[in-house]
Amino acid sequence: MATISVFDAKAQFSKLIARAEQGEEIVISRHGRAVARLVPMPAAQPDRVPGWIRPVDVPDDFDQWTEQDEQDWFGESRAQHEPAP
């Protein structure tokens, strides 16, 4: 890890960037005190593709509400609570 003054960093900025691209860390100092660090960027991660690991099988009756579904959800049939016509 190299240390360089702000004055020298301004004069050699392009070279410092090239060194950082090669993986080197460079500390920039002002009046002998470290104030910044020039580091290489981490490798870009590939874009995530939404979806599952494997396809999801949706049954044909997925959106059909049955009397059994009613009992499972509400504990009793909703028809018992509907007013008679």
What pTM did the predictor assign? 0.51
Phi, psi for 19 (deg, rounded to 5): -65, -40
Residues shown for the chain: 85
Tokens of 64: 């059909």
Q: Return the pLDDT at 17.
A: 95
Measured CA angle at 48 (ends 46, 53), to 5 deg: 120
pLDDT at residue number 79: 60
CA atoms of 27 and 80, how far apart (whole Å): 76
Q: List the chain pLDDT tens, one digit each, 85 residues.
A: 899 999 999 999 999 999 999 999 999 999 999 999 999 998 888 877 776 677 778 888 888 888 888 888 887 656 666 666 6
Cβ atoms within 10 Å of 10's Cβ, excluding its own:
11
Q: Where are the domains of the chain?
A: 2-38
> Which CATH number is associated with domain 2-38?
3.40.1620.10
The per-residue pLDDT for 44 is: 86
Structure tokens belonging to residue 38: 């020039």
